Structure 1
Amino acid sequence: MNTPTGKDLLEIGYKPGKAIGIAIALMESNYADLLKEEQLAILAQVLASPADYLEDAQLAALAEALLPPKQEEIIPLLDEARGYTIYGAAGIEAGALNQMNTAMRLPVSLAGALMPDAHQGYGLPIGGVLATKDAVIPYAVGVDIGCCMSMSLYAIDSAILNKQSEQLKRILLDNTRFGTATFKKPKDHAIMERPEFATIPIVKSLKDRAYSQLGSSGGGNHFVEFGVVELHDKDNEFGLPTGQYLAALSHSGSRGLGASIAGHYTKLAMESCRLPQEARHLAWLDLNTAEGQEYWLAMNLAGDYASACHHQIHGRLATALGEQPLAVVENHHNFAWKEKDAAGNEVIVHRKGATPAGQGVLGIIPGSMATPGFIVRGKGEANSLNSASHGAGRVMSRTKAKQTLTLPQVQLYLQEAGVEVIGSGLDEAPMVYKDIRQVMQSQQDLVEVVGTFTPKIVRMCGDEKYMEKD
């Protein structure tokens, strides 16, 4: 037999490992007509100088196996964080500040801001706003891509909330689904015909699941609720008189579609963009690459899918109420946008748990299930990157809430607030959130209040008997 053995290779200096197997296979396939001594001479030459054979058509694989593994190149952070504006600094935990400081040391970061509801998350803190150049950071968008607020106002006397509360609770139970629950027969929507479902492999694999979850809401802090809107601004964009209106408010995102897209492209970003340990979740995709463009398309699809789910939620509610809404307000708060900076240059603005608040832009900032939310109009404040908070912000982790609070304590709080809750758990109790009034006080320069929303009947994910009155 002409082919060298593993013992032969060990004798000429090869180390145990995969290189020996590659060497023997190459000799069998490409050099079988040579004597064993000639084959060993070639293998000895490659061993002596593998770098010289990296371009060799026959021996490149062996050369690569013999070379030491390439050292991963770590992209250094800036020595100092770029400056950014903090709103409501007194109420922001150190963890969120540390995360924002790290984000402002990325070489692709241009500007940033921290909203008054900010708290620690993964990568960019929740409530963080970050502008970059030609780069998109999946974890600065968030896992729940396109998480969205949507509100419908109705020409229905708000007294219905007291007079027909049982009927309204039944409407919520019949027309909303949360968490793993979905509608047996989802309604069709044009979003499912988008070309991205055919052209992007990861998105294509998620199409059936996305269809099954159409019109449903996620778990956690997602909700659908009825309440009272008090319009304060007589010059409101809806052309409606000031006063009270029945309103439906929903909070949800892109379900499994968005979560899977976020996970897939975060992994790609972390493989191609190696950062120091403290910044690893801020890995970015270059928008000038195929992967960056693909994520951008997938992200926008997920955002539009989230919006489609809200439209179906509100469509079902409108049908059940027998009324079409007078007005609708909607906004994303986990997304990235292409916008212009003060000099007119295009930048990528990530808002992870932050509401767009450009000049004249309407949005919704909810409180908790027992505190007011607000319809707001953006003031276009440059220091905030045209952003505002996306809610009240947590002051208590989910674990701590479950360890600290009791069901009777929460039930009494809700009863005193005049709120009925279907579902939910201790981790979403009103006491786990910051005071929304203080949050709003901290961002008076960012938004003006158009109307106030007071929740009355709230449905969230969880045991439907939880917190219901006997």
Structure 2
Amino acid sequence: MTTTEFDPVTGDQLKDWGHPPGKQFPALLKKANALRAEGFGLVRIRAELEADRIVPPPTLPLRAPGEVPFHLTIEAETPDEEDNVAKVRETMTALMRTPTIEAGAVMPDACPAGPVGTIPVGGVAAARGAIHPGMHSADICCSVMMTDLGAVDPKAVLDAAQSVTHFGPGGRPQGKRFTVSMKLMDAFRENRFLNHPKILRMAQEHMGTQGDGNHFLFIGRSRATGRVAMVTHHGSRGPGAVLYKLGMEVAEKFRRKLSPETLKQNAWIPADTDEGRAYWEALQLIRKWTKANHNAIHQATVEAAGAESHDRFWNEHNFVFKRGDLYLHGKGATPAWDDWATDATPHTLIPLNMAEPVLVVRGKDAGHGLGFAPHGAGRNFSRTEHRRRMGEMTPDQALVAETEGLDVRFFAGKVDASELPSSYKRADAVVRQIKSYDLAEIEDYIDPYGCIMAGDVPPFWLNRKKKKRR
């Protein structure tokens, strides 16, 4: 229909006049049509609205290649390692082009973790005024906790731990759940990100659970004291995974507006916005939930074993840390400076693999590591490639060959070959590079007695398909 002087002004006309859609549209339409009712023509109305036109800020372009350098604290000693380092260098080079990033570092245990431009495992990225959910990943606050149990029988502790812990997908059934602090749950409800039905439900169901993959419960003995220690490794489970998804959705909205050229996985939430402040607070609350989850499993094991709990400390390695006016994103990287958190202790933990010790280290705050140390041993190739290289050897045979003398248990009963020591980088090389790059001082080794892992658990979507077919 041809526009006449009696036709109302529409939203499409406002957009044609250069007004970006937004909260101001209803008021603009009301003003425009009030002028229309007074007999003003479209040219005059457009001129009257010009003063109200919001001019969007210019978008932020990607940084030039090489504009922001990064530190490599990793060495390649084999062809597999050379290939791995080349891929890590390629993805970090692309990551450094993100407009908010001002520095980066790569740890000795680094390996790629997605498409080019995705922060690798063992990667650190420092951003100014921005929180990047994709740089802490879905496993928010993946972390390790150690409890000194004194002079106890390690087998008795491992048996007790197996009776109380929970591995695999999902949470604990009704009647077998661990208690969650009501104060913490109330804090969840007050946060715009965490006040989500799925998060609130999972916060109850997943307390006292460890998930799958490389998460574990490890029992070993300190070389320094001869005392038995328990170490757990897991993250924020379902609540953290849903928070990550919500954070990525908000970050994507900002990306489209602020920097469309930025890769989707590197989208960010501006820290000085309402969304940024709420997301930062949500991360701190998820951190409290995760620490409580570790504590619940440790305390239940102590009670089931009739043991005593002595020293206990923990540290995360998938998180965002604020230092000055920079947000340090560690993806599989351990903070190694004093006071990295209000509950920080002088020591942090670096596990290697099920047949090797857990390192107890004191951080060196190395500038070339942006203050971080590695989080473990990392991988040189994928889980699928590791299975291929096993040839005709079965997972059970490989387990016996690689963990002789150790009590290694898989919660689901079936050995997960992709978690055997041979699937990881050589532990001695990682230890050597920690020392050569002066990233941390190793003060103790917790030698392995045994551990519990999830095992070869079918993915949750496969079980859903089976149920639908039935």
Is the TM value for this pair above 0.5? yes
Any conservation in 2 of the 1:370–1:419 contact (CA below 8 Å)?
A: no
Q: 1:210 aligns with which of 176, 185, 203?
A: 203
How does the TM-score come out when normalised to structure 2? 0.78
The Cα offsets for residues 411-453 of structure 1, whole Å up to 9 and x where unpaired, read as: 2224425342223511211111001221121121011111112
**Gap change, CA 1:434 and 1:292, over 3 Å in 2:** same
Structure 1 residue 100, shift from structure 2 partner: 1.5
**Gap change, CA 1:277 and 1:410, over 3 Å in 2:** farther
The Cα offsets for residues 129-186 of structure 1, whole Å up to 9 and x where unpaired, read as: 11111111111122111111001112215xx34xxx3x44431221100122526332
Where does structure 2 lack aligned partners over 5 or more consecutive residues? 20-24, 34-41, 43-54, 339-344, 458-470
Distance 2:312 2:138 in 1: 26
- Give the letter for the 2:105 counterpart: A
Q: Which residue of 2 aligns with 1:200?
A: 191
Distance 1:57 1:254 in 2: 48
- Which stretch shifts more, 180-189 or 140-149? 180-189
Secondary structure of the corresponding residue to residue 283 of structure 2: helix
Any conservation in 2 of the 1:75–1:273 contact (CA below 8 Å)?
A: no
Residues 1:422 and 2:413 aligned together = no
Q: 2:423 aligns with which of 426, 432, 435?
A: 432
Residues 1:264 and 2:246 aligned together = yes
Any conservation in 1 of the 2:104–2:370 contact (CA below 8 Å)?
A: yes
Any conservation in 2 of the 1:192–1:211 contact (CA below 8 Å)?
A: no
Q: Which residue of 1 aligns with 2:306?
A: 322
Secondary structure of the corresponding residue to residue 267 of structure 1: helix
Distance 2:304 2:15 in 1: 77
**Gap change, CA 1:227 and 1:291, over 3 Å in 2:** same
Q: Which residue of 2 aligns with 1:311?
A: 295
**Gap change, CA 1:147 and 1:413, over 3 Å in 2:** same
Q: How many residues were matched structurally?
A: 399
Secondary structure of the corresponding residue to residue 395 of structure 1: coil
Q: Which residue of 2 aligns with 1:56?
A: 29
How does the TM-score come out when normalised to structure 1? 0.78
Q: Which residue of 2 aligns with 1:253?
A: 235
Structure number with larger C-alpha Rg: 1
- Give the letter for the 1:425 counterpart: D
Distance 2:275 2:209 in 1: 29
RMSD: 2.9
**Following superposition of structure 1 onto structure 2, how do residues 106-185 of structure 1 map, counting pairs within 5 Å?**
106-122=98-114, 123-157=118-152, 160-161=153-154, 165=155, 167-179=156-168, 180-182=170-172, 184-185=175-176
Secondary structure of the corresponding residue to residue 459 of structure 1: strand
- Which stretch shifts more, 294-303 or 403-412? 403-412
Where does structure 1 lack aligned partners over 5 or more consecutive residues? 1-8, 14-36, 64-69, 232-242, 341-345, 465-470
Distance 2:455 2:15 in 1: 65
**Gap change, CA 1:338 and 1:278, over 3 Å in 2:** closer
**Gap change, CA 1:47 and 1:292, over 3 Å in 2:** closer
Distance 1:256 1:49 in 2: 41
**Gap change, CA 1:71 and 1:456, over 3 Å in 2:** same
Sequence identity (%): 28
The Cα offsets for residues 314-344 of structure 1, whole Å up to 9 and x where unpaired, read as: 101111222222211210111111113xxxx
Q: Which residue of 2 aligns with 1:87?
A: 73
**Gap change, CA 1:52 and 1:168, over 3 Å in 2:** closer
Secondary structure of the corresponding residue to residue 93 of structure 1: helix
**Gap change, CA 1:401 and 1:43, over 3 Å in 2:** same
Any conservation in 1 of the 2:62–2:261 contact (CA below 8 Å)?
A: no
